[in-house]
Chains A and B, each alone.
Chain A
């Protein structure tokens, strides 16, 4: 081999492989963790954004944290009162419950929706434009409907039975489009099973054609002060911005990934430099400058980082496939995060190589030449 950097990497395949895996670990950590967090947020945002209702009326708790975990605190009577206000075409209350995800991984949302049992309220399908594409709408108290993604899961396909809130439910319908939670049961069933009769998590408000959504929102806010009104058009953006505490968590994950990459390359190259002390002496005797020696070692770290990024990205894709196919979670890779993961890996690798490189460059040539 003619290239010293590549020759050195090929001469110690296990060490090179270990370094690549170390770098890949950091890349996987960033891609999967961020992909999972962002995937869940964006997917939720898109599904919430699919609501055809223009407004969501919420209790005072914040939207970001509240919408997925809202207990049933809002009186359903509010929906009836709002439905009577000018400019409002229909309202429908929604209850939401969070349970541990399929196979014990992550979490899963279940919604209790109005399916026409209460004549005073609009039905959820009418307000959201949801339609059944397979089977039928739930009619009995222990029936549920799922979206297409959940229907593809053998545990929740059409006709399957599953335990929810201590009762056995049967999947009777598959709906489109994906909106809100992926599993929906009758509102009354959820209220009964959670012991929250006549309560909901929030209320969807559909305005009349031609009515000003802003004016309706202002009017509802004035009539029910202290509660929140959210425009559904803003929901995807709100989810995309994420949750402040999640951002802190992701920053910690990124720092951890950089630390892993740095440490891996540092350990690998520090050992390599010690082994190659004599070779460094030879380079110096040949007139190799400090910059040249630093460049050689940094080039080695860069190649290891690039290979680690490639390998890590491949593994992350496999993990994504596994998570998406075997759990209800969503992992989404975005270019900016792939670039961030790659940059972090290169940064970690370069930083990790810096001390060994400088140590090598500053070695005494005569001592290095006599190293055994």
Chain B
């Protein structure tokens, strides 16, 4: 059975298009120069993600999913077109302002977990608190940290280093780190891509719980139909373009 057929059959496919946009792109192009050729990773992408919506992006490798996610998160600038996060157009922002916006509104989760190997679980979360909340909200951060670690089943792993955890546990720590400052938007790049099915289910369950309990907007890239099924809406991409929304 092809992915397209399965996605069409998904019972969870629904939209929240009437809600204000958390993320919005218009005619988004991203091109790279490789040798003498221009490679177009994104070709006029128009995408609107409503507040509180859980969107899964699927598509073959190299179709521009990660480029879209990085552009949505303000990690890179588009070649042309516009990206707006919570109504703020990134094009009009300086590098420092984009960093600030990312810090305040966005949490990233990556396929390779991207935890700091020299820091403990608690250290990884404290670092995120320090970056996102500063010193002033230390008390709030500490309370939030403990609550999250409990919710994600990591309360007993506080002093562990990432290498002492299973893949599923590492990804849950990465998830906790991404949402410790309660960002409005969570961007996840194949968060279950490196996990076995059991850990993948665990992480997915946590994502669903975070979405349900915290009401965050989630944009998730996946190759896994089961993971995509958890989303409100699935966006299919191919050759830098969106095929269906």
A binding-site residues for B, Cβ under 8 Å = 1-4, 7-8, 10-11, 278-279, 282-290, 292, 364-366, 369
Contact = CB atoms under 8 A, between A and B. Distances in A.
Contact of B131 (A7, A11, A283): A283
Contact of B114 (A10, A288, A366, A369): A369
B120 interface: yes
Contacts of A11: 117-118
Contacts of A284: 75, 99
Contacts of B118: 1, 4, 7-8, 10-11
Contacts of A365: 70, 75-76
B226 to A, nearest CB: 26
Interface string B109-138: 010001011111011001110011000000
29 contacts: A1-B118, A2-B119, A2-B122, A2-B126, A3-B123, A4-B123, A4-B127, A7-B119, A7-B123, A10-B118, A11-B117, A278-B114, A279-B116, A284-B75, A285-B102, A286-B103, A287-B100, A287-B104, A287-B131, A288-B99, A288-B103, A288-B131, A289-B96, A289-B99, A290-B95, A290-B99, A292-B131, A365-B70, A369-B110
Nearest to B174: A282
Given A286-B103, A292-B131, A1 B123 contact: yes
A286 to B, nearest CB: 5
A284 B118 CA distance: 18
Given A279-B116, A287-B132, 9 more contacts: A2-B119, A2-B126, A4-B127, A282-B114, A284-B99, A285-B102, A286-B177, A288-B99, A369-B110
B96 A290 contact: yes
A7 B122 CA distance: 13
B54 interface: no
Interface residues of B, number: 28
Q: What 9 A-B pairs have minimum CB-CB distances, sorted nearest first?
A: A287-B103, A7-B118, A2-B123, A11-B118, A285-B108, A365-B75, A282-B114, A287-B102, A366-B76
Interface string B122-158: 1100111001100000000000000000000000000
Contacts of B104: 287
B28 interface: no
B106 interface: yes
A10 B116 CA distance: 14
B120 A1 contact: yes
A203 to B, nearest CB: 71
A288 B104 CA distance: 11
B95 to A, nearest CB: 8
A288 B132 CA distance: 8
Contacts of A4: 116, 118-119, 123, 127
A366 B99 CA distance: 13
Interface string B204-240: 0000000000000000000000000000000000000
Of A3, A4, A285, A289, the most chain B CB neighbours within 10 A belong to: A285
B59 interface: no
Given A2-B122, A369-B110, A289 B100 contact: yes
Contact of B73 (A278, A279, A285): A285
Nearest to A285: B108
Contacts of B100: 287, 289
B116 A282 contact: yes
Contacts of B96: 289-290
Contacts of A10: 118
A365 B108 CA distance: 12
A1 B119 contact: yes
A286 B132 contact: yes
Nearest to B96: A289
B207 to A, nearest CB: 18
Contacts of B106: 287
Nearest to B122: A2
Interface in B155-204: 177
B99 A287 contact: yes
Contacts of A282: 114, 116
A269 to B, nearest CB: 15
Contact of B75 (A7, A8, A285): A285
A286 B119 contact: no
A224 B9 CA distance: 118
A290 B126 CA distance: 19
A14 to B, nearest CB: 15
B110 A286 contact: no
A10 B118 CA distance: 8
Contacts of A292: 131
Contacts of B73: 285
Nearest to B110: A369
Given A364-B76, A365-B76, A286 B128 contact: yes
